[in-house]
Amino acid sequence: MTGNSQFIPVQAPADTSITIGELLQNAAAIVDRIDARWLLQSILNTDAAYLIAHADRSPDVDQINRFRQLLARRAAGEPVAYLTGAKGFYDLVFEVTPDVLIPRPETELLVEMALAKIPADRECNVLDLGTGSGVIAVTIAKHRPEACVMAVDLSARAIAVARRNAEKHAVKNVVFIKADWFSHFTAEKFDVIVANPPYVAEGDPHLEEGDLRFEPIAALTAGRNGQDCLRSIITQTPDYLVPSGWLMLEHGYDQAAVCHELLGETGFTRLFTRTDLAGIDRVTGGQYG
């Protein structure tokens, strides 16, 4: 992708004779082809198959202008998920706004690991800490309808997005709570606790790159070394797990060892770490009691 956002002027009069195929061909000069397709699909409210089958169709003036506006914003670096307001995760599509992190494929591993520990045929209490857009909680609740899922986030705006996603997918067995980690709970105990907390170090240069530049900083960073939230969750979790309950955490590429150490010091056993599709240590967890 280049930074030449003037290739297709945002305010240029729309040529109503230009086709879908021509729009995508022109757009490929300034943004990734896949990104261009996603943007046009969102404008036309259709899918990739339609774009291929109707490549000779000409969108209307408003659709062309809106597409060009999105192209200029994407060329300036704005994430596709924020421009379209949606992102696929696991086997569902979720609403995404700048108030929440963009769901990433590596987080699907955390869901897979949690589902493996949650029975499909009986009740199970599950807690999702730092739920954001609700992708973890809603996906688990959708695939485990007998489970009671509670999802916590400190951001009221994130909770609003998560609730809309639950409604969108007709999920009734999830409750969203505005709170700081475990602060809402007193005597509650859970069978499985999952978390994708902030784990990037403050000042990390990656925060100035790509999509991270546009995502909520509070949902990304956790102290000088990125470990503050991981430490807080691990040390508090034993008070909220049933005997033999499980804690599973997504973490940074270089944080598996410290998570293992903290889990062991806190009394967890049967420790494990799983790698994502890129071969990076991504999810670490253990059983307590």
Q: What angle do CA 21, 23, 26 make, to 5 degrees?
A: 105
Q: What is the mean pLDDT of residues 242-255?
A: 97
Predicted pLDDT at 164: 98
- Residue 65 has φ and ψ, to the nearest 5°, of -65, -40
What domains, with CATH codes, occur in the chain? 1-77 (no CATH), 98-288 (3.40.50.150)
Tell me the sheet residues that pair with 283.
250, 274
Q: Using an 8 Å Cβ cutoff, are 224 and 204 in contact?
A: no
**How do residues 41-68 score in pLDDT, each as one tens digit?**
999 999 999 999 999 999 999 999 999 9
Q: What is the mean pLDDT of residues 18-33?
A: 94
Q: What is the mean pLDDT of the chain?
A: 93
Q: What is the mean pLDDT of residues 147-162?
A: 98
6, pLDDT greater than 70 = no
Q: What is the mean pLDDT of residues 80-92?
A: 96
Q: What angle do CA 75, 78, 84 make, to 5 degrees?
A: 105
Q: Band the pLDDT of 72: cuts 50, 70, 90.
A: very high
**Residue 187, H or E segment:** none
Tell me the whole-structure pTM to 2 decimals.
0.89
Percentage of the chain lying above the pLDDT 90 cut: 90
8, pLDDT greater than 70 = no
